[in-house]
Amino acid sequence: MSNKHQHSFQAEVAQLLHLVTHSLYSNKEIFLRELISNASDACDKLRFEALNDPALYEDQPNLEVRVSFDKAARTLTITDNGIGMSQQEAIEHLGTIAKSGTKDFMSRLSGDQKASATEQGQLIGQFGVGFYSGFIVADRITVESRRAGLPASEGVRWASSGAGEFEVEQIQREQRGTSVILHLREDAEEFLNAWKIKQIIGKYSDHISLPILMEKEEWKESEKEGEPGEMVKTGEWETVNKASALWTRPKKDITDEQYQDFYKTISHDHENPLAWSHNRVEGNTEYTQLLYIPAKAPFDLWNRDKAAGVKLYVKRVFIMDDAEALMPGYLRFVKGVIDSSDLPLNVSRELLQESRDVRLIRDGSTKRVLSMLEDLARHDKHEAGTQDADVQDVVSEEDKAKEGKYSQFWAEFGAVLKEGLGEDFSNRERIAKLLRFASTSSDTASVSLQDYKARMKEGQEAIYYITADTLAAARNSPQLEIFKKKGIEVLLMTDRVDEWALGYLNDFDGTPLQSVAKGAVDLGKLQDEAEKKAAEDAAEAFKPLLAKLKEALKDKAEDVRATTRLVDSPACLVVQDHGMSTQLARLLKQAGQ
Ligand code: ADP
Ligand code: MG
């Protein structure tokens, strides 16, 4: 008796299959990620069901995925010993689109703004199309499966060439779980290669916590003289992925060394990171974050478009490493992994970027990085003096290890962090507290705005700063003379971003920031009556001279004024209150504007 039955795919599936086979060309290899992730899901499901029914494990309690290929038959097979499928489940799950993500995707494609073929290709490439992605490389797929708990006689074989129909028959299958057998297209023979398969697994599935096994091969010389040898299978299986999603393990089970090794594998940095933070976030959206701050800036730190350092996983399957979606630009130096248990696997980058969950993850991760930095800053030796006395009494080994790290961080990444003032309004105050500057009373960039405020002179109403190309130029600027004379500290800013970034910080903790190069510096209460009087008298006395100078410089200077800000120098250039500073003007000129 034949028990083969023909079925038609649901209309959307047929449409999707057509798309898959015609437009996913540029990103063929994702099929393996999809099939391995299904195998991993099937094992997760078995683990879950077995909680109530341990007998489901039968005699195979160790869950695993095996990937094998047969060059002669041109097949690639992915086998798992997970939950498996009954005949009915195979028909339903492999013949219809049940997932809302894919449904949305399909409706977008067939909606009003019909995408062109290339756009479809791009769209679909970014989606995980799940099981059907097998048809990118296969002209026929056979699935053999037996659901855990069903007898061996109730196995199922599902087969399709992806052209609108599939057939299903009952088979005898001893092994629990599923084998997906891909009959590779002629142009997909590259996947009949152990090295190639391992490379793809390494790229997408290294952190699947399930072991992925492949049969070992060894080189065998040909027995016939003069013919080349070949790789032959040895019958021995080896695990080819790391099989450990470090971030899913409890913190207490992970050593510093393991954290550091993991950092090196994801960052391609050979140095240890400066700090890391590993948390499970619960609430509106649940995710695990493992974020690292590197010790050294990479050479391409200033390239805002470079590949991002934070990778998004959904249930341990790599999804994307889109920079802006996961971390704001000013934290682009952060490396790490975010693993969400809520996001759907099959969703496009575009949808992900718009997703509320991703936004929450981004906000949460931003705050986490800022806390990490605050923690380092708190333990930096420069701030030891500002700590509470009772906190200082107990300096743990851990705290000691953090000493000096913030200075190091600042030297490497401070200029990038400053961009946050203009980029992230919601965290501006926290960022402002993390800023460090050199000043007229500190040679190193170690003065925080809090430090500055704490040292302000009686009656001083503003935080004064000067921008220049170099520290020496800043220090020797004639504009500082009056401040030196009065013993007022001035922050010295020499980073290219300072001018722009500080433009976003009108005040710090209620105290305005004021450039000493802008307008007539109002020293407010710091200026005594006698000085004010002298200034006014001088302005009066020099009126005719000033008028002459103004006439002579009329194309070059807006105004010529008498000033009290100079002590030794005869003259200096200043800009109007709301004008561009000379430093910024120079910068823009350099940039050709
Ligand atoms: P998704 O994984 O997002 O559900 P897929 O297209 O990848 O979508 O798979 C469709 C369905 O087919 C799965 O939800 C599952 O029910 C079933 N399936 C696919 N692969 C396997 C497998 N290896 N073992 C058991 N069921 C599977
Ligand atoms: Mg899937």
Report the candidate in 275, 285, 349 with the shortest Cα–Cα distance to residue 312: 349
- Give every CB contact of residue 275 below 8 A, 6+ residues apart in sequence: 292, 293, 372, 375, 376, 402, 405
**pLDDT value, residue 116:** 58
**pLDDT value, residue 196:** 95
Helix/strand/coil for 505: coil
**pLDDT value, residue 285:** 87
Lookup: tokens for 58:
């039968």
Please state the φ and ψ torsions of residue 198, each to the nearest 5 degrees: -60, -40
Residues of the chain with pLDDT under 50: 1, 100, 112-113, 125-126, 128, 382-387, 389, 593
**pLDDT value, residue 569:** 65
Residue type, position 533, single letter: K
Ligand 1 pocket residue status of 42, Cβ below 6 Å: yes
**pLDDT value, residue 16:** 79
**pLDDT value, residue 258:** 84
Residue nearest to atom 21 of ligand 1 (CA): 38
**pLDDT value, residue 565:** 65
**Ligand in closest contact with the CA of 347:** 1
Q: Burial, 107: exposed, middle or buried (Cβ in 10 Å; 0-12, 13-18, 19+)?
A: exposed
Asked if 156 and 171 count as a contact pair (C-beta separation under 8 A), the reply is: yes
Strand partners, 507: 512
Nearest ligand 1 atom, CA 346: 3
Ligand 1 pocket residue status of 346, Cβ below 6 Å: yes
**pLDDT value, residue 342:** 81
Ligand 1 pocket residue status of 39, Cβ below 6 Å: yes
Lookup: tokens for 521:
């510096």
Summarize pLDDT for 160-177 with one digit per residue, the tens. 998 889 999 999 999 999
Helix/strand/coil for 133: helix
Q: Burial, 54: exposed, middle or buried (Cβ in 10 Å; 0-12, 13-18, 19+)?
A: exposed
Nearby residues for ligand 2 (ion, Cβ within 5 Å): 38, 130
Mutate to test the pocket of ligand 1, among 16, 24, 32, 93 (most ligand atoms within 8 A of CB): 93
What does pTM read for this prediction? 0.62
How far is Cα 43 from Cα 504, in angstroms, rounded to an integer? Answer: 52
